Amino acid sequence: MASLTDMVEQQLAGNTLTDMSRQIGAQPAAVQQAISVALPLLMGGLASNASRPDGAQALNTALEQDHDGGVLNNLSGLMSNPQAFSGAGILGHILRGKQSPVAQGIGKATGLNAQQVTQLLMMLAPIVMGVLGRQKRQQKLDSGQLGTVLEQERTDMEKRSPGAGGLLGGLDRDNDGSVTDDIARLGQGMLGNLLGKR
């Protein structure tokens, strides 16, 4: 079975990537690199939130009320107006208020500026929630099962890109106060791994 990350990437193929790139004013290759770094961070953030019973229940409720996967049928609308799909609010919940250093770190790793990365994350977050909501509906997952699915996703990401899955839980690894640098280093390592496999 495809992973959640794979399912999100399927939604981003073809015209969607082109539309995203045009919307934020960046080259598709740079946007693809930023997505490769951002998705593990978003999935890791969701897994971290869902690892606590209250967090899992809050996520379950949000999916039931607002994220049934319908956004996946209107990606062009999302690209043109992420705010209409609560992109910023979703991002804030997933990243627990660390949007700015996360955006700066991804930017350092990929060459995009922080504003471009923030716009990209605001488009990605509703897609991630849409894919998760669709899986919840199709597989009839409860809050505990959601946590299990996301933890498995984090484990799989750790195998592919060590450090990615648990990054949001352990940001600022060297306790120097610089979350941005931690993400930049991880992102550069992940991109190096991806390029090495081609």
pLDDT digits (tens, 9 = 90+) for 114-170: 999 999 999 999 999 999 999 999 999 999 999 999 989 888 877 766 655 545 444
pLDDT at 99 exceeding the cut of 80? yes
Whole-structure pTM value: 0.85
pLDDT at 98 over 90: no
CA pair distance 64, 6, nearest whole angstrom: 22
Rg (CA), the chain: 15
Confidence of residue 112 (pLDDT cuts 50, 70, 90): very high
Residue type, 78: L
Helices 114-139 and 143-160 pack at an angle, to 10 degrees, of: 130
The band of 181, judged by pLDDT with boundaries at 50, 70 and 90, is low
End-to-end CA distance of the chain: 23
Token pair of 186, please? 């991880």
For 36-93, how does the pLDDT look when each residue is reduced to its tens digit (9 = 90+)?
Answer: 889 988 988 898 889 889 999 999 999 999 898 999 999 999 998 888 889 999 999 8
Residue span of the structural domain in which 137 resides = 4-196
The mean-pLDDT minimum among 102-106, 169-173, 185-189 falls in 169-173
The amino acid present at 145, given as its one-letter code, is Q
Complete DSSP assignment for 117-142 = HHHHHHHHHHHHHHHHHHHHHHHT--
- The CA-based angle 138-81-150, given to 5 degrees, is 35
Domains of the chain: total: 1
pLDDT of residue 44: 85
Q: Which band of pLDDT confidence, cut at 50, 70 and 90, is reported for residue 95?
A: confident
Residue 174 clears pLDDT 50, i.e. is over it: no
Closest to 102 (Cα-Cα) out of 44, 147, 144, 154:
44
